Amino acid sequence: NGASQDAAIQDTTQSAASSSLATPPVGNPEYFATRQALPLWARQDDIRSILRQKDVLVLVGETGSGKSTQVPQFLYREKWCQRRRVKVETDSGMQEIGVGGMIAITQPRRVAATTLAHRVSREAGTPLTGQTGGGGGGGGGGPAAKGLVGYSVRFDHRVPPGTRIKYLTEGMLLQELLRDPHLKQYSAIVVDEIHERSVDVDLLSGFLKQILLGDRAGRGGIPLKVVIMSATANVEKIRGFFSHTSPRSSVEYMQIEGRQFPVDIVHTPKPVPDIQETLIKTIFKLHTEEALSDKHGRKDILAFLTGQEEIETAQRLIEEYASTLGPKLPKVRVFPLFGQLSMEAQHEAFQPIKGGSTRKIVLSTNIAETSVTVPGVRYVIDCGKAKVKQFRPRLGMESLLAKPVSKSSAIQRAGRAGREGPGKCFRLYTEETYETLQKTDLPEMLRTDILSAILTMKARGIDDVLSFPLMDPPELESVEKALLHLHILGALADDGTITDIGRKMVQFPVTPPYARVLVAAADPRYDCLLEAIDIISCITAGEDIFLQLRTEEAREEVEEYRKELSRREGDLLTYLTTMQLYAAENADRIRWCKDRKINIRNMKQAISIRKQLRGLCVRQGMMEQPAADPQPFRPASPELAGVILRCFLKGFALKTAILVPDGSYVTSHGKHVVAIHPASVLHGQKKEAIMFLEYVYTQKNYAKKVSAIQAVWIAEALQE
Ligand code: ADP
């Protein structure tokens, strides 16, 4: 029935007849020219006509080509996108309900969702009012109603009445799916930035595939249109995943050529020993030698750094150095941009700078790589690293250590310099290093720990994880093992559904065993959350905080100092004492670490993780804001030590071993013989039972991070 749909389009679209190429925009005339100049604009009619016939479109286009802002504006006036009333069967008989009318556009990050909503409401000339509401808002039809655009991100919803275009994070749409598995409010779902392949976007794709396969239209609803958008062209797998979902949904593919000016790429000739220093030098060389603007416009600087701490340090150094420059040079203004920054502060980076004599320097994490457009940028500086969520099996910590970016990311980053005129990209690494980079990043699903991935799926309402459609499904056997392990941890009930404990565990960026410890620690029966956080922070802060002592001499040197840290209960309590003494140290922390041969970098990491975990627990109402350091040191009593260890057993009951008569330790799970690693404070000691958080195989099976426990505690931890 393509013809009747086409005919119907004529009356909902203003002056469709007047243009053979693309319908002129409705909305704020101030933006017409800019919008019509976007590479996507010329394809408007193609996009609309494809979606009249097909249910799925995969759209590839460079960042800045207009995908996120224009696609929903092209679609909302289409006939198929209007709200309809349909009869559905409910528990109380047949009922008429309104369905469809809205378009959801998902984003991996909050800042992209909110800035896009602001931008598009300005383009459309409709207010983005502060009406805070739930998922609803409903259609209402008719062009450019009172509020056309809304957004919904964690802790912040603006969905004015009449909202038709709603920007939201992937996580928020997954939440809505829990309430309404058919997404009845929506006529179209636009999945943006799919190339990032977050776990959430993979799950979302699975749900959308199920809806497409499930024939929503056949059950009194309306068909769902799905637009998948990517800034990188590597989408074969995604196209394959969505093909054959319904007779109408053989996947259409469209690639938009971006507007790209040439970008000169400069690598360093030698590896740089100090990224921070090279960064500052590069910035000020550019600032002092290059004009503030040319005929193409402003010439601002965008630097990609790894994370909040690096960005804040760089900002301080840049501002300090800038204040020493003479009055003849233009001023600089630094804008940090990272996920933990407040929304207001993030938005500042996108504002045009006031006054013609200031250079804007944006210091960003990979947020600015594809998901947002920072106007004015002609120089990019790329440190070559990013913090990605990556499972580190040995540590059981999922996140936040910087690692080299992929070639694909490096290319995206460089591309940001050539949006508005010819640009330059300075890579703070050598060309040889570039050649060694991986082609693309692995999908997060394949990088995360399987336990976490399965728990997330359960929390997202996926009951049958084995048959859920995924682009990169994990192996059956490892899924089954993970389900069993999660059940033992108390995260899943006997029937496989997620428990309250499981729901609490999902909130933590640590693997499920550690998350289980944190949940137990907050339980009044254990009540040792601060202590558990201190220990987990030390364990997950990279390599061991204690430097290895290779010579007898080295051992003698630190013996006295380390004695003060060691606890006979084992390594976990030793970590606790170390963290507490370090936090109590007010004078010279560097000296303190040197004397004890403690890795100061890892200790700083530990403090940063501790801050993150404490913040999270406070926000979730699990504890009061703890007092700031330095706090006087009070050693944990033997009773408290026992409580802490029993609490850790809630997460690690399977990682235990019992002393057998021949003097060796045999694991309670698997019955292997393990020896206590020489680096442990319990090395060479005989305890009735031990708990170990890691093991390594070298010539021997070694247990690491070992604590002395009572055998009866193991069974106790597995109960309830
Ligand atoms: P894509 O999704 O293809 O990356 P967008 O639709 O996000 O492209 O952006 C298209 C253009 O709109 C950008 O090149 C930029 O000029 C402009 N734009 C988008 N968002 C903003 C914003 N928040 N502020 C200023 N300009 C913006």
Q: Are 252 and 43 in contact (CB under 8 A)?
A: no
Atom of ligand 1 nearest to the CA of 372: 7
Atom of ligand 1 nearest to the CA of 68: 2
Residue with the smallest CA separation from ligand 1 atom 6 is 66
**Model confidence pLDDT, tens digit, residues 423-448:** 999 999 999 999 999 998 888 888 87
Chain-centre distance for alpha carbon 368: 13
Distance CA 534, CA 537 (A): 5
Q: Rounded to the nearest whole angstrom, what is the distance from the C-alpha of residue 128 to the centroid of ligand 1? A: 17
In order, the DSSP letters of 294-306 are ETTEE-EEEEE-S
Does 65 sit in the ligand 1 pocket, CB within 6 Å?
yes
Distance CA 399, CA 340 (A): 14
Q: Rounded to the nearest whole angstrom, what is the distance from the C-alpha of residue 288 to the centroid of ligand 1? A: 29
Residues 6+ apart with CB under 8 A from 380: 263, 301, 302, 303, 304, 413, 414, 416, 417, 423, 424, 425, 426
Residues 6+ apart with CB under 8 A from 312: 336
Spatial CA neighbour of 463 closest among 135, 205, 206, 243? 206
Q: Rounded to the nearest whole angstrom, what is the distance from the C-alpha of residue 284 to the centroid of ligand 1? A: 28
Distance CA 569, CA 401 (A): 30
Work out the number of other CB atoms within 10 angstroms of the CB of residue 252.
18
Work out the number of other CB atoms within 10 angstroms of the CB of residue 641.
22
β-pair type (225-230, 186-191) = parallel
Does 187 sit in the ligand 1 pocket, CB within 6 Å?
no
Mark residue 643 as left, alpha or beta (left: phi above 0; alpha: psi -120 to 50; beta: remaining). Answer: alpha
Q: Are 111 and 346 in contact (CB under 8 A)?
A: yes
Q: Are 472 and 446 in contact (CB under 8 A)?
A: yes
Query: Which residue pairs, CB below 8 angstroms and at least 24 apart, start in 11-16?
Result: 12/77, 12/78, 12/79, 12/82, 12/143, 13/77, 14/143
Does 114 sit in the ligand 1 pocket, CB within 6 Å?
no
ipTM of this complex prediction, to 2 decimal places = 0.96
Q: Rounded to the nearest whole angstrom, what is the distance from the C-alpha of residue 64 to the centroid of ligand 1? A: 5
Length of the chain: 720
Quote the pLDDT of residue 659.
96
**Model confidence pLDDT, tens digit, residues 590-637:** 999 999 999 998 898 889 889 888 988 998 899 999 998 888 899 999
Q: Rounded to the nearest whole angstrom, what is the distance from the C-alpha of residue 349 to the centroid of ligand 1? A: 14
Q: Rounded to the nearest whole angstrom, what is the distance from the C-alpha of residue 367 to the centroid of ligand 1? A: 14
| Helices and strands per DSSP (H, E), number in the chain | 26, 27
- Our mutation pick for probing the ligand 1 site, out of 32, 69, 227, counting the most ligand atoms within 8 A of Cβ, is 69
Atom of ligand 1 nearest to the CA of 118: 23
Distance CA 486, CA 513 (A): 9
Distances (CA, A) of 146 to 166, 185, 503, 663, 711: 14, 18, 38, 78, 68
Distance CA 621, CA 615 (A): 10
Spatial CA neighbour of 13 closest among 68, 74, 55? 74
Q: Rounded to the nearest whole angstrom, what is the distance from the C-alpha of residue 369 to the centroid of ligand 1? A: 13
Spatial CA neighbour of 155 closest among 590, 483, 491, 620? 620
Q: Rounded to the nearest whole angstrom, what is the distance from the C-alpha of residue 372 to the centroid of ligand 1? A: 7
Work out the number of other CB atoms within 10 angstroms of the CB of residue 76.
25
Q: Rounded to the nearest whole angstrom, what is the distance from the C-alpha of residue 214 to the centroid of ligand 1? A: 35
List the structure tokens of 46: 């193609």
Distances (CA, A) of 211 to 215, 253, 494: 7, 20, 28
Does 66 sit in the ligand 1 pocket, CB within 6 Å?
yes
State which residues of the chain have pLDDT below 50. 1-20, 131-145, 391-399
Q: Rounded to the nearest whole angstrom, what is the distance from the C-alpha of residue 600 to the centroid of ligand 1? A: 43
> Greatest CA span in the chain, whole angstroms?
92
Distances (CA, A) of 526 to 378, 579, 609, 616, 709: 55, 20, 22, 19, 16
Spatial CA neighbour of 201 closest among 212, 191, 190? 191
Residues 6+ apart with CB under 8 A from 492: 458, 483, 486, 498, 499, 502
Does 241 sit in the ligand 1 pocket, CB within 6 Å?
no
Distances (CA, A) of 696 to 109, 220, 672, 687, 692: 37, 58, 13, 20, 11
Spatial CA neighbour of 415 closest among 404, 403, 427? 427
Residue with the smallest CA separation from ligand 1 atom 14 is 64
Does 574 sit in the ligand 1 pocket, CB within 6 Å?
no
List the structure tokens of 602: 């890892």
Q: Are 25 and 122 in contact (CB under 8 A)?
A: no
For residue 27, report the phi and psi dihedrals to the nearest 5 degrees.
Answer: 120, -150
Quote the pLDDT of residue 465.
94
Distance CA 636, CA 534 (A): 12
Does 375 sit in the ligand 1 pocket, CB within 6 Å?
yes
Q: Which amino acid is at 420?
A: E
Element at 238 (helix H, strand E): helix 236-242
Q: Rounded to the nearest whole angstrom, what is the distance from the C-alpha of residue 236 to the centroid of ligand 1? A: 26
Q: Rounded to the nearest whole angstrom, what is the distance from the C-alpha of residue 347 to the centroid of ligand 1? A: 14
Atom of ligand 1 nearest to the CA of 115: 23
- Our mutation pick for probing the ligand 1 site, out of 43, 70, 74, 119, counting the most ligand atoms within 8 A of Cβ, is 119
Does 69 sit in the ligand 1 pocket, CB within 6 Å?
yes
Distances (CA, A) of 620 to 409, 505, 520, 614, 625: 34, 12, 15, 10, 11
Q: Are 366 and 386 in contact (CB under 8 A)?
A: yes
Q: Are 25 and 73 in contact (CB under 8 A)?
A: yes
| DSSP-derived 3-state class of residue 230 | strand
- Our mutation pick for probing the ligand 1 site, out of 35, 123, 373, 374, counting the most ligand atoms within 8 A of Cβ, is 373
Q: Rounded to the nearest whole angstrom, what is the distance from the C-alpha of residue 204 to the centroid of ligand 1? A: 24
Does 119 sit in the ligand 1 pocket, CB within 6 Å?
yes
| DSSP-derived 3-state class of residue 153 | strand
